[in-house]
Amino acid sequence: MSATPIDGKAIAAALRARVAEETRALAARGVHPGLAVVLVGEDPASRVYVRNKAAQTVEAGMRSFEHRLPADTTQADLLALVATLNADDDVDGILVQLPLPAQIDAQTVIEAIAPDKDVDGFHPVNAGRLATGMPGLVPCTPLGAMMLIDTVRPDLSGLEAVVIGRSNIVGKPMAQLLLARSCTVTIAHSRTRDLPDVCRRADVLVAAVGRPEMVRGDWIKPGAVVIDVGINRVPNPAAEHDPAAKKTRLVGDVAFAEACAVAGAITPVPGGVGPMTIACLLANTLQAAKARRGI
């Protein structure tokens, strides 16, 4: 058996196209959704993310407001910028790129963002809305992962779901989304006993750990839907004999080739969950723009 690949790149492109179409329709009514992205410092990965986010925001027809602050920005200065963006009517979504430099407490900043502009969905009000089944802004990565699951297994009712990872950004909201779809959900983490055995129960297995290829083929229930959220940079073995080859490559938290032989459907890395994250950010910005205007 070979698992059906879940093409996150194509599904994300289709979502971005839908967002762009709706954005055009809003523009015709004089509404121009805007996303403000704040980057503090020079973290190279964050710079790439912010650049991609801004480019895709513009491509979708939305306004993009980029704020780049020096690495020694004080927490007070960042909070002042967030307050300005909260009050700016042209700004529908605010995203402060994480991680933040050590002098700034990320949780304080997240809590300063107006919940109706919190397009990352990290504010406790939005986390609480998700947990209590109220409409709100849902974190982009689990939202995107859920959309990918829907393409291969639309009816999840009664299925066993296992989420490995309990972060506020991925693991916990992912588990809430699966619970809302009537899965029987287990959240596994670093203290979980006999993780392989827990994973073998899963009809839907979501790995959000940050450990390269940790989930092996024999951890997977035959036919399961496997969603690999992990993005890990590892040395590229090809670079040993080919000087032209890239020194590193990206792998997920799942041993892809092994998993393919057992799973029913699986997301690749790269090209699975990753592209969905920014597409969902745009979808959240659109949702925020409409909700703020009562559309």
Residues that bind ligand NDP (CB under 6 A): 141, 164-167, 169-171, 188-192, 195, 208-211, 229-232, 273-274, 277
Q: Which of 92, 117, 118, 120 is catalytic?
A: 120
3-state secondary structure the chain: CCCEECCHHHHHHHHHHHHHHHHHHHHHCCCCCEEEEEEECCCHHHHHHHHHHHHHHHHCCCEEEEEEECCCCCHHHHHHHHHHHHHCCCCCEEEECCCCCCCCCHHHHHHHCCHHHCCCCCCHHHHHHHHCCCCCCCCHHHHHHHHHHHHHCCCCCCCEEEEECCCCCCHHHHHHHHHHCCCEEEEECCCCCCHHHHHHCCCEEEECCCCCCCECHHHCCCCCEEEECCCEEEECHHHHCCCCCCCEEEECCECHHHHHCCCCEECCCCCCHHHHHHHHHHHHHHHHHHHHCCC
Nearer to ligand NDP, 5 or 32 (CB): 5
The least distance separating ligand NDP from the CB of residue 28, rounded to whole angstroms, comes to: 32
Nearer to ligand NDP, 78 or 279 (CB): 279
Nearer to ligand NDP, 75 or 192 (CB): 192
The least distance separating ligand NDP from the CB of residue 271, rounded to whole angstroms, comes to: 11
Q: Which of 53, 117, 172, 221 is catalytic?
A: 53
Catalytic, 120? Answer yes
Nearer to ligand NDP, 12 or 104 (CB): 12
The least distance separating ligand NDP from the CB of residue 283, rounded to whole angstroms, comes to: 14
The least distance separating ligand NDP from the CB of residue 123, rounded to whole angstroms, comes to: 17
Nearer to ligand NDP, 62 or 227 (CB): 227
> Which residue minimizes CB distance to ligand NDP?
167
Catalytic, 53? Answer yes
The least distance separating ligand NDP from the CB of residue 187, rounded to whole angstroms, comes to: 8
**Residues belonging to the active site:** 53, 97, 120
